[in-house]
Amino acid sequence: MARPRTPPTHRARLAHRALGHALRLAVAGLLVLLAGVLAGLAEGGSSRTAARGHEREVTARRGPVRYTLEARLDDARHEVHGRGTIEWRNDGAIPQRELWLHAYLEAFRDSRAPLLEPDMARGFRGGAALTHLGGLTVKRLFARELDVDLWPRADRSEPTDVRVPLPRPVAPGETLTMEVEFIAALPSLVLRTGFAGEFHMVAQWFPKLAKVEPDGRWAHFPFRRFSEFYANFGDYDVTVEVPAPMVVGATGAPVESSEQDGRRRVRYLAERVHDFAFAAWSGFEEIRQMAGDVEVVALFPRGELEEAELELATAERGLRHYSERYGAYPYRRLTLVRPPPEASAAGGMEYPTLVTTGGSTRGRAVGVRALEALVLHELAHQWFQGIVASDENRSPALDEGLATYAEIEAMDAMWGGASVFDALGLRVSSEAVSRIVAKGVAGGGPLDRPAETHSDGRSYVGLVYARPATLLRMLAKIYGEDAMRRALRRYASEQRFAHPTPSDLVEVVRREVGEQAAIALRRGFEGARLDARVVRFASRKGSSRASWEGTVAVAREGSLEVPVELEIWAESGARSRLVWDAPGSDASLEWRGDSPIAAVVLDPEGKLLLDEQRRNDSRGAPRPTPRLYGFFGLALSVVAEVLWP
């Protein structure tokens, strides 16, 4: 777009002033959160009935753990006093001689802990100073069947990842019932848990059993800055007690509530979930609405009704759309928690049936949809990794990449090429922003790697969120949106309430999209790169007076091999297409036309989203070359270089 030759209007000046804030949200936050799907029609007829019936049947099967807990919040000391029982069934293939427990609040017992270093964040999960220490003190872990308190035996050499030896092996299929008593000391709000003033975000607060894999191996790991969580599906029966003025938002649905002596007790039930979190604050207001048979509740600070209404409407539409794409939402309640401004570090996180939001509606005045993107991303996590529970520590790109892909598809389904920004004639899509961030980490190594191997926030955002999502979007453009949609629907259905790995996704893509797409997906997860280019072209007179023949030489660097389209412009103005569909690093393609070749344009429709250089994609006479992102894409690239150096 040409630079304006006349002084900008007041409206334009305001828009451009807000653009910096908009782009920061779009690139640094939006893309950290990219993922989603939106707008959709409810499935009708017998197919919907069959799907919902299957989902109810799956939900009815008990998981290997059941937590029955009472959690009493001491808001003055910022502590949760917990007690109850943990039932655990050995679902593994071998007898177990030990348990592993996550005690993640122990990460905040030392303000100098490595995971709190601000330099590590690089703009992601920022380094708020820890002004109040936290910790998890387990006072008792009594196993009834073994008639012994297990906690004195615990090996706490890694405080957040605790090994508990057993006095005898627990056989496959055998159950232990453990009486537990503990105190969860909440830190000042950091890494999305803790307190800020009277607001309390109570997450990763109880001693939580690690998961036993089918082969009998425990999937346990310490708490790290970039790692999220992984656990068995189970049932939670949790009674939360808080001061009476406080409003609570929690995983599951409330089934009982009572008040006595200035305290409120609310009992929540959540079936077939792998975590439980709650927020408590006296400043919450509440609105709610139904999305089909799901009750959506929004908790928000006073004075932020506009933001809450937008979040609620976005969540309602998102639930319908995601249910169509990935199977019906299996729970009867979804809670949106909007933290107050001083507790913004609690925002942008997903838990089963509960998400935290954040951000402002101010950008909407200049066409920015950051708040909608955030809601859609966290909502997408209700499927990936809420219902389809991959290992977020071992393979964070699987759940974040799929959630980001889902968000991009939803945003673009709703607003098309203007899903991120739409003002002053400039239109930017979620896909464009994702591609820019993905390009910035090309060559950064495998996508499928443990969270702890990422050196900083830039690496984590690019390789875990943006690049896998952009890879999937590229394959959808090349091999067909419908085929990729079928593949992800099948993946979400087959892996519902399961714990898949990247190889499970690759296998579904192989079945639904094809072998070539599956190979490209696997190589992409291994870190493969792509730079396709036009090397040269030549044409000569053909055998007849009206015909011309030619060759187009193309080359490709990197092992990410996908079909490449080329548009050939003849001097007569005629255009034709060639496809380089064979593997290899280079090729010479034959062409016939009615006049000499004037220009060759590689990837004219912009399908190769991971192509690292656009400037080598055409050769020939100067002319406007159709490109996916245009002037504003270039502007975003410049901003991305500043934000992600």
For 591-636, write each residue's pLDDT tens digit.
Answer: 999 999 999 999 999 999 999 999 999 999 544 444 444 444 445 4
CA atoms lying within 13 Å on the CB side of residue 541: 4
Q: What is the pLDDT of residue 592?
A: 95
The C-alpha angle 92, 94, 99, rounded to 5 degrees, equals: 70
Distance CA 154, CA 244 (A): 37
Which residue carries 């105190």 as its tokens? 183
**pLDDT bucket at 113, cuts 50 / 70 / 90:** confident
Q: What is the pLDDT of residue 26?
A: 42
E strand or H helix at 553: strand 548-557
| Mean pLDDT value of segment 4-19 | 34
Lowest mean pLDDT among 14-18, 460-464, 487-491, 567-571: 14-18
Phi then psi for residue 519, to 5 deg, are -65, -45
| Mean pLDDT value of segment 8-21 | 36
- Judged against a pLDDT cut of 80, whether residue 307 lies above it is answered with yes
Phi then psi for residue 33, to 5 deg, are -110, 0
Q: What is the pLDDT of residue 420?
A: 84
Q: What is the pLDDT of residue 55?
A: 40
**Tokens describing residue 399:** 């759940």
Q: What is the pLDDT of residue 117?
A: 73
Q: What is the pLDDT of residue 626?
A: 41
**pLDDT bucket at 543, cuts 50 / 70 / 90:** confident
Render 165-217 in DSSP notation, one character per residue.
EEEEEEPTT-EEEEEEEEEEEPPBSBTTBEEETTEEEE-S-S-EEPEEPTTS-
Q: What is the pLDDT of residue 413?
A: 87
Q: Residues with Cβ < 8 Å from 57, sequence gap 6 or more?
A: none
- Strand pairing partners for 219? 211
- Judged against a pLDDT cut of 50, whether residue 119 lies above it is answered with yes
**Tokens describing residue 117:** 């270093």
* Cβ proximity of 454 and 461 under 8 Å: no
Lowest mean pLDDT among 4-13, 473-482, 560-569: 4-13
Q: What is the pLDDT of residue 47?
A: 32
- Judged against a pLDDT cut of 50, whether residue 449 lies above it is answered with yes
**Tokens describing residue 79:** 């502590």
Q: Bigger pLDDT: 33 or 269?
A: 269
- Judged against a pLDDT cut of 80, whether residue 37 lies above it is answered with no
Of 275, 310, 312, 308, residue with least CA distance to 291: 312
- Torsion angle of the four alpha carbons 33, 413, 502, 228, in this order, in degrees rounded to the nearest 10: 20
Q: What is the pLDDT of residue 363?
A: 79
- Judged against a pLDDT cut of 70, whether residue 498 lies above it is answered with yes
- Judged against a pLDDT cut of 80, whether residue 254 lies above it is answered with yes
Domains of the chain and CATH, by start: 62-315+330-360 (2.60.40.1730), 531-607+613-631 (2.60.40)
**pLDDT bucket at 578, cuts 50 / 70 / 90:** very high
Q: Bigger pLDDT: 2 or 278?
A: 278
| Mean pLDDT value of segment 581-587 | 93
**pLDDT bucket at 175, cuts 50 / 70 / 90:** very high
Q: Model confidence over 332-390: pLDDT tens digits?
A: 999 999 999 999 999 999 999 999 999 888 878 778 899 999 999 999 999 999 999 99
| Mean pLDDT value of segment 149-165 | 98
Q: What is the pLDDT of residue 10?
A: 32
**pLDDT bucket at 121, cuts 50 / 70 / 90:** low
- Strand pairing partners for 552? 537, 589
The string over 433-466, giving b where at least 16 C-beta atoms fall within 10 Å of a residue's C-beta and e elsewhere, is bbbbbbbbbbebeebbbebeebebbbbbbbbbbb
**Tokens describing residue 529:** 């790169």
Distance CA 484, CA 489 (A): 9
